[in-house]
């Protein structure tokens, strides 16, 4: 963001390589929620150190659907940092929490690279299941890229993300995260927390360190996110 069980693994690559590790989405939407979000990720591998930041504003348009707009900035392997892309994202809470054996949602995201004819549309299923004081969250996503300047022109690809979380206390919840795409498989520890205030106001934070399992001598990603809902 600009100032910001054995799983089935689906092959994928994203529009830009710094985003092999991003975020595991939960399927929930709060009625009438508004939010500001900042996401930061820094990936270091044999090719260098790439930095990605997002800043976003979101607003629910119903008790089941929320829309969020992003501005994305990136520092690439040559240390050039600047505006990279724009995104619009919709999340749909398909089932009410606790209605079925698991909670389900869907993600729809459109990305346009800044100053380039390069587009990507991503969609997929978001699922979450509670087991006592633990939760399993999965994202199964498919993206399609097009445009004359797209590095993956007219290609459809898939991606898998997983988070297994222990709900110790609302403010501190340790987890294990897994990310997989065509070029990357990584796993590592993560933490998240929620600080609730009056009404619907709450502050969420996430921190994760994901190590790549691709065989490179160095490949790890530090990610951090803050989200204020009100």
125-179 pLDDT, tens per residue? 999 999 999 999 999 999 999 998 887 777 888 899 999 999 999 999 999 999 9
pLDDT recorded at residue 7? 33
Task: Please report whether residue 9 resides in a domain.
Answer: no
Task: Please report whether residue 2 resides in a domain.
Answer: no
The CATH number for 117's domain is 2.40.160.40
96: pLDDT strictly greater than 80: yes
Number of structural domains (the chain) is 1
Region of residue 184 (phi > 0: left; psi between -120 and 50: alpha; otherwise: beta): beta
- On whether the CB atoms of residues 102 and 89 are closer than 8 A, the answer is no
Task: Please report whether residue 8 resides in a domain.
Answer: no
214: pLDDT strictly greater than 90: no
- Is the entire prediction scored with pTM above 0.85? yes
The percent of residues in the chain predicted with pLDDT above 70, rounded, is 89
12: pLDDT strictly greater than 60: no
Task: Please report whether residue 134 resides in a domain.
Answer: yes
CA distances 24 to 42, 146, 162, 163, 212, Å, are 16, 25, 7, 7, 17
Task: Please report whether residue 145 resides in a domain.
Answer: yes
Read off the pLDDT band of 218 (50, 70, 90).
confident
DSSP state, residue 172: B
Q: Which domain holds residue 197?
A: 17-229
Task: Please report whether residue 7 resides in a domain.
Answer: no
Q: Give the Cα separation of 168 and 154 in Å (integer).
A: 44
pLDDT recorded at residue 1? 31
pLDDT tens per residue across span 111-140: 999 999 999 999 999 999 999 999 999 999
CA Rg value for the chain: 17
Minimal CA–CA distance to 177: which of 221, 131, 216?
221
Task: Please report whether residue 12 resides in a domain.
Answer: no
Task: Please report whether residue 41 resides in a domain.
Answer: yes
Please name the residue that has the structure tokens 């600080």.
Answer: 195
pLDDT recorded at residue 39? 96
Q: Give the Cα separation of 184 and 120 in Å (integer).
A: 19
Read off the pLDDT band of 77 (50, 70, 90).
low
């Amino acid at each position: 963001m600009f100032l910001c069980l054995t799983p089935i693994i689906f092959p994928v690559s994203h529009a830009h390589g710094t985003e092999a590790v991003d975020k595991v989405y939960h399927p929930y939407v709060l009625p009438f929620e508004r939010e500001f979000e900042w996401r930061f990720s820094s990936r270091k591998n044999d090719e260098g150190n790439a930095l990605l930041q997002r800043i976003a504003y979101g607003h629910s348009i119903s008790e089941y659907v929320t829309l969020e707009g992003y501005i994305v900035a990136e520092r690439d392997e040559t240390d050039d940092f600047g505006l990279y892309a724009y995104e619009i994202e919709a999340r749909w809470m398909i089932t009410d929490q606790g209605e079925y054996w698991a909670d389900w949602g869907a993600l729809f995201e459109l990305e346009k690279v800044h100053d380039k004819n390069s587009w990507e549309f991503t969609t997929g299923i978001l699922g979450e299941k509670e087991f006592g004081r633990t939760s399993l969250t999965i994202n199964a996503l498919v993206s399609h890229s097009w445009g004359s300047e797209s590095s993956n022109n007219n290609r459809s690809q898939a991606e898998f993300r997983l988070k297994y979380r222990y709900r110790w206390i609302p403010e501190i919840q340790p987890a294990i995260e897994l990310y997989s795409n065509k070029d990357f498989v990584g796993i590592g520890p993560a933490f998240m927390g929620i600080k609730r205030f009056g009404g619907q106001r709450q502050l969420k934070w996430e921190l994760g360190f994901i190590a790549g399992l691709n065989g490179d001598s160095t490949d790890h990603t530090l990610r951090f996110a803050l989200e204020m809902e009100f």
